[in-house]
Structure 1
Amino acid sequence: MGNERANRRLHPLLGWTLALLAMAAFCGLGTWQLGRAKQKEAMLAAVHEVLVERNPQSLALAADAARAREYDWAAGEGVFADAPAVLLDNQQRDGRAGVRAYRLFVPTGAPPLLVELGWLPLPGDRAMPKIESPAGNIRVQGLLAPPPSHGIASAVATKQPGGELLTIGLDAPNLAPDLRVRALPPRVLKLDPALRLGYARDLDILPNTLPPERHLGYAVQWFGLALAVFATALLLSLRQRRRSREKMAA
């Protein structure tokens, strides 16, 4: 009789323990998604402010480590270096797979930096496109921004038959030797789409990533699951108590 009573007490306790663990996990995931949504909203707000003002700064600002995660409108003159083009793989545009093309630009009086020329589609055989190399002294302008995140995957550049460097992430320390420079700034220049140079492009800072509203939607789902677990655990607990009372009454 004593063992039976102990088991009756243990089962609800175990159930609630598992339910609370699941609720904590779901709430943690929901909180993380909310945090990501706020981060991206702040990023978009900062970019909007920069694009409204469009107060041109020096391209040398790209090398400022203190602003490595910030956004600035910059402009300057210089030449595109005789160095391999860098192709960022796994880039979607209008539902099509392709690459984003970058070339090394050497501004007058400033360190070399990568300039995004735009997006190009890839054919079925994934033959890499030939990337133009603008000649002569050129004035460029655009948005200084952190390069697209490549997550935890290794961003090693591989040389293609045409000489291009194909990579899944713009890892400055890894790319610098291949581009024959001592170092690369932590930011790249997203070329102004209004310039008659390069390929299809925009100033979107969240390409191929989730926008804030998607993160918010996922957060609601995770919190909803936590609530569902709580409701289910409460219902099962109430049923268990009712059955116990009925057995005692019998």
Structure 2
Amino acid sequence: MGNKVFRPKLWALGLTVVLCGAMIALGIWQLGRGQDKAELLARYEAAAERPPREMTAGAWAEPGVIERASVAGRFDGTRQLLLDNQSHERQPGYRVWTPLLLNHGGVVIVDRGWIPAGGDRSKPPPVPVPQGEVRFTGYWRTLPEPGMRLEVDNCAPAPWPRIVQYPTADELRCLYGQSVPGGLFLMDADAPGGYVREWGAGPELSPGKHYGYAAQWFAFAAVLAALFIIYSFRPRT
């Protein structure tokens, strides 16, 4: 480029810096999500090696801790929640959260797995529950949190089953009373009365996809920077 000189336009420089910065930030964010998923998988694997403990009223999930647990009680099929925006193999759907009335008092929210949304989103799909007393094991953990929380009131009056967006512990206590502990019970995949369950093994938990997204964002930033440099060389005047 002996007959050309590097002479970038100010608007192009500013735009490139902003876009590259945004792409790099997205790549770093995806790296963080991948690391979070890797740590979550490790906690599931560690929990699977320990014997389950009996859940009792007042139990509280410790942040970052996943443990094996067992429960006994009766499902309340009249007040179920459908956690919205949940996908399985790229198909939209819900996670079914059903309150379990423990034999010794108290309520535990049980995640019974994923179901497809169906064609009409205005009509929640039927979610029958097992009748009578049930006993099963699973994982006990803190409530899942979204990457970005929407401003919604999950406690607002609505027909059951309610479609919700990542309710907090306070919202669950608003819906079910103060006896609801701050946590979520994930029903084992072989327990009857549930739906699609892939705790610690589903593709949604794979850290690899986030690392792939991060690599794409970094590559986009590199390509944009290279194009900016190439087209900023102009003939000498």
TM-score, normalised with respect to structure 2:
0.77
- The answer for the alignment partner of 1:48 in structure 2 is 45
- The answer for the alignment partner of 1:220 in structure 2 is 215
Q: Structure 1: which 4+ aligned runs deviate by more than 6 Å?
A: none
Structure 1 position 136, deviation (Å): 3.8
What SS is found at the alignment partner of 1:69? coil
2:27 maps to which of 14, 23, 30: 30
What SS is found at the alignment partner of 1:159? coil
Q: State which structure, 1 or 2, has the greater radius of gyration over its C-alpha atoms.
A: 1
Q: Point out where structure 1 has 5 or more consecutive residues left out of the alignment.
A: 1-7
Is 1:189–2:188 an aligned residue pair? no
Does the 8 Å contact 1:73/1:141 carry over to 2? Answer: yes
Is 1:107–2:102 an aligned residue pair? yes
Structure 1 distance, partners of 2:205, 2:135, is: 33
> What amino acid sits opposite 1:50 in the alignment?
A
Structure 2 distance, partners of 1:62, 1:201, is: 28
> What amino acid sits opposite 1:119 in the alignment?
W
Is 1:231–2:223 an aligned residue pair? no
Structure 1 distance, partners of 2:57, 2:9, is: 59
2:142 maps to which of 146, 166, 174: 146
Does the 8 Å contact 1:173/1:184 carry over to 2? Answer: no
- The answer for the alignment partner of 1:167 in structure 2 is 164
> What amino acid sits opposite 1:189 in the alignment?
F
Change (3 A) 1:92 1:26: closer
Structure 2 distance, partners of 1:12, 1:79, is: 70
Could you say what the CA RMSD is over the residues aligned between the two structures, in angstroms?
3.3
- Of structures 1 and 2, the one with the larger relative CO (CA 8 A, separation 6+) is 2
Q: How many residues align?
A: 228
TM-score, normalised with respect to structure 1:
0.74
Change (3 A) 1:141 1:218: same
Structure 1 position 122, deviation (Å): 4.2
> What amino acid sits opposite 1:91 in the alignment?
Q
Structure 1 position 83, deviation (Å): 5.2
Q: What is the aligned-residue identity percentage?
A: 26
Q: Point out where structure 2 has 5 or more consecutive residues left out of the alignment.
A: none
What SS is found at the alignment partner of 2:224? helix
1:191-224 C-alpha deviation (Å, 9 max, x unpaired): 112122x132213359795742221122112211
